[in-house]
Amino acid sequence: MSYVMEKMAALGYKITPQRRIILDILHRSNKHLTADEITERVKAIEPSVSLATVYRNLSMLVDIQIVSKLDLHEGPTRYEINAGHNHHLVCLNCGDAVKLGVCPIEDRIQNIIDDCGFQVNSHHFEITGLCKQCQY
């Protein structure tokens, strides 16, 4: 996680105790977390941190591309450490998101982009449905 701290410092942002806790929680999580889930975990460490503080910091971390946000169709926004691509299987019932290890833009779509002379600045790919637990 030190690369995240180095990137923040290089961009001129202070590494406050609240930001460090939020980033540590996201780094240790094996799933995407909502702001409420992050706040609950932050409060277990530092009870004085408010939901507004968590939202403010998440917004800033998203703006500087250290954290990615996943806006689900009907569910709450979820957050994760930005590790590059954001391609997911998303459960429409519980909101669980599984990161895909492949990028669909790498092959045929890239050829179309090249043929059209299109300049991509970002992309997102998600497949929605029901996870194994929600199918029953």
123 annotated to bind ligand: yes
106 assigned binding-site residue: yes
Q: Tell me the three-class secondary structure of 118-129, residue by residue.
A: CCCCCCCEEEEE
116 is annotated as contributing to ligand binding: no
6 has binding-site annotation: no
Q: Which residues of 44-82 are buried (b: 16+ CB within 10 A; e: fewer)?
A: eeeeebeeebbeebbeebeeeebbbbbebeebeebbbbb
- Residue 91 annotated as part of some ligand binding site: yes
Residue type, 88: H
Report residue 27 as tokens.
């780094």
Report whether 131 belongs to an annotated binding site: yes
CB atoms within 10 A of CB 88: 21
Residue ranges for the known binding site for Zn(2+) are 91, 94, 131, 134
Residue ranges for the known binding site for Fe cation are 106, 123
Residue ranges for the known binding site are 91, 94, 106, 123, 131, 134
